[in-house]
Amino acid sequence: MNPKKIAAEEAVKLVEDGMIIGLGTGSTAYWAIERIGQRVKEGLRIQSVATSKRSEEQARRLGIPIIPLEDIERIDLTIDGADEADGDRNLIKGGGGALLREKIIATHSKRLVIVADESKTVDTLGRFPLPVEIVSFGANLTLLRLTALEGHPHIRMEGDRPYVTDNGNWIADCRFEAIADAPRLERELNLIPGVVENGLFIGMASSVYVGHADGSVTVQ
Ligand X SMILES: O=C[C@H](O)[C@H](O)[C@H](O)COP(=O)(O)O
Q: Binding site for substrate: what residues are annotated? A: 25-28, 80-83, 93-96, 120
Nearest residue to ligand X by CB is 26
Helix 29-41 × helix 3-11 angle, to 10°:
50
The residues, any chain, with a CB within 8 Å of residue 170's CB and separated by 6 or more, are 133, 134, 135, 136, 139, 155, 156, 162, 163, 164
Query: Contact with ligand X (CB under 6 A): which of 6, 9, 11, 25?
Result: 25
CB of 25 closer than 8 Å to CB of 98: yes
Taking the C-alpha atoms of residue 45 and residue 151, their distance in angstroms, rounded to an integer, is 44
Query: Contact with ligand X (CB under 6 A): which of 37, 95, 129, 151?
Result: 95
Taking the C-alpha atoms of residue 24 and residue 209, their distance in angstroms, rounded to an integer, is 14
Binding letters toward ligand X, positions 118-157, x by CB under 6 A:
----------------------------------------
Taking the C-alpha atoms of residue 112 and residue 22, their distance in angstroms, rounded to an integer, is 9
For the four alpha carbons of 35, 45, 68 and 202, in that order, the dihedral sign comes to: negative
In angstroms, give the least distance from the CB of 17 to ligand X. 26
Q: CA nearest 174: which of 153, 150, 197?
A: 153
In angstroms, give the least distance from the CB of 78 to ligand X. 11
By CB under 6 A, tell whether 47 contacts ligand X.
no
Query: Contact with ligand X (CB under 6 A): which of 5, 19, 22, 26?
Result: 26
The backbone torsions φ and ψ at residue 111, rounded to the nearest 5 degrees and listed phi first, read: -135, 135
Say whether 102 is catalytic.
yes
Of the listed pieces 25-33, 35-43, 169-177, 181-189, which binds ligand X according to CB under 6 A? 25-33
Binding letters toward ligand X, positions 55-94, x by CB under 6 A:
-------------------------xxxx---------xx
Of the listed pieces 26-34, 67-75, 134-142, 158-166, which binds ligand X according to CB under 6 A? 26-34
Catalytic residue (choose from 84, 102, 186, 197): 102
Q: What is the total count of residues that contact ligand X (CB under 6 A)?
A: 18
Q: CA nearest 47: which of 15, 7, 13?
A: 15
Which sequence positions are flagged as catalytic? 102
- Where do contacts with ligand X occur on this chain (CB under 6 A)? 24-29, 80-83, 93-99, 102
